[in-house]
Amino acid sequence: DVAIPGNHEFDYGMKQFTKLSKMLDCGYIASNFRDLKTGKLVFPPYKIIKYGKKKVAYVSVTTPETLIQVSVATFHDADGKQTYSFDWDELGQTMYQDVQTAIDQVRREGADYVIILSHLGEKMNNRDEWTSKALVANIQGADLLIDGHTHSVIPALIVKDKTGKEVTITQTGTKLAHLGKATIHPSGEITVELMDSVDAEPDPKITALIADIRKQHEEILNAQLGTMDFPLLAKNKDGSWIVRSKESNLADFVSDAFRTIYNADIGLINGGGLRTNIEPGTIRYKDALSVLPFGNQLCVVEVSGKTILDELEYGVRNLPANSGGFLHASGVTYTLDISIPSSAQVDITGFFTGVTGPYRISDVKVNGIPLDLDKKYIVVGLDYFIKNNGSGHIFAGAKLLPVETGTDCEALAEYIQKIGKIPSEYSDPKGQGRIRFKCEATWNNILLQG
């Protein structure tokens, strides 16, 4: 009946998103997705559905971070001018007002209940202002918020709105780990529950369709690449991310794959690009694809040591919070002091503009030799963040080299095939010590405190 866009709906660009959105029978709603050419919202901000005699209004909001979590070309024209917005402002006030305006309107239209459908989630990238909790605390008139984005499992979190009214926030996790059920009782009370299974027969048509698709790709997906006696980790056992704030053996291995296959000085992968672990045993192509599922093209560039330093610094700006833009580097070691406040700056749209104060990063070495700020280095990484400014990275002055490249997954698969058996040097889940933390005890204490 109702759908809202999240950041991954835009992974394949606006043209494809627009095409697919027109195929969606129920259509999207979005209170803060705006076409800057017209100044108007791309979709209606809400939908009201009548159930018996009661009207339930659904109001949608999408994280402003979407602007920097996809290729810069998605929301900019050929001249680099921004063409779409999610009403970004660092304090979240514009987003709050968008939602409040929609709530006020549906109440005027007679809505008995207001349910917010949001793709905001919990705290990411040090921005409390863009969380669902912050939204509820800054609005009034909502009865329930159904959330997404951070893959959190939240059965029922009670947050007070700006009038002191208690509003429930719920989130189901990811990949159908749970189904959420909200019930509006005759008394007006709203209850929520998460279900991990549903007593229903599989749809035979869908089952046959899935089986046919699997059969078509079975040979490629099950192709053996190599073997391993230990896991390569992107996540902890509880599902929390490692690679978005700390070094890991998976990140080391993948960045090594890029650097080795393309014979570069440095190989880079962002934490947000690594999506799951690889378990011990036989490694198949489907395992590589699960780690790198987006099909990002690799690109090879020539950049100065100063640009490398600045991009690494930008990558750690949000620590100790998780960040998809946190960079892992092959061929590079450095010391990191998170007691130094980050002075990496971003512009009004969230793109990196430079470092204005002390660096958190020091003692940077490239293949054992101190980084030369004036020297040119060959760097290979995803076009997502090097060429297309994903996660707000800029890579100032980067010269794109005429090297024929494949996708990230193809490079990883080729590297595993060349090695055969993954060597024990990658067995430590914490990685090989490429990132050295000053005050390690303080860092671990911060992580334990959340």
Residue ranges per domain, the chain?
7-195, 206-448
Which of these, 219, 370, 222, lies nearest to 305 by C-alpha position? 370
Query: Phi and psi dihedrals of 73, rounded to 5?
Result: -65, -20
- Residue 15's pLDDT is what? 94
Identify the helix (H) or strand (E) that includes residue 102: helix 93-108
Express each pLDDT in 382-411 by its tens digit: 999 998 888 889 998 899 999 999 999 999
Separation of alpha carbons 411 and 409, rounded Å: 5
Amino acid type, 18: T
Task: Place 79 in a pLDDT band, splitting at 50, 70 and 90.
Answer: confident
Q: For domain 7-195, give the fold.
A: Purple Acid Phosphatase; chain A, domain 2 (3.60.21)
pLDDT > 90? residue 450: no
Count of CB atoms within 10 A of residue 24's CB? 10
Express each pLDDT in 197-217 by its tens digit: 778 888 999 999 999 999 999
- Residue 72's pLDDT is what? 75
Across 230-239, average pLDDT: 95
Express each pLDDT in 285-336 by its tens digit: 999 999 999 999 999 999 999 999 999 999 999 999 899 999 999 999 999 9
Which of these, 66, 86, 60, lies nearest to 1 by C-alpha position? 60
Across 355-376, average pLDDT: 97
Across 254-283, average pLDDT: 97
Q: Which CATH number fits domain 206-448: 3.40.50.2300, 3.90.780.10, 3.10.105.10, 3.20.20.70?
A: 3.90.780.10
Amino acid type, 66: T
Separation of alpha carbons 192 and 44, rounded Å: 26
- Residue 389's pLDDT is what? 85
On average, the pLDDT of the chain sits at 93
Express each pLDDT in 335-365 by its tens digit: 999 999 999 998 877 789 999 999 999 999 9
Task: Place 73 in a pLDDT band, splitting at 50, 70 and 90.
Answer: confident
Amino acid type, 60: S
Q: Over the range 305-333, which residues count as b (16 or more CB within 10 Å of their CB) and which as e?
A: bbbbbbbbbbbbbbbbbbbbbbbbbbbbb
Across 76-90, average pLDDT: 90
- Residue 128's pLDDT is what? 86
Contact 207, 253 (CB under 8 A): no
**pTM of the entire structure?**
0.74
pLDDT > 80? residue 41: yes
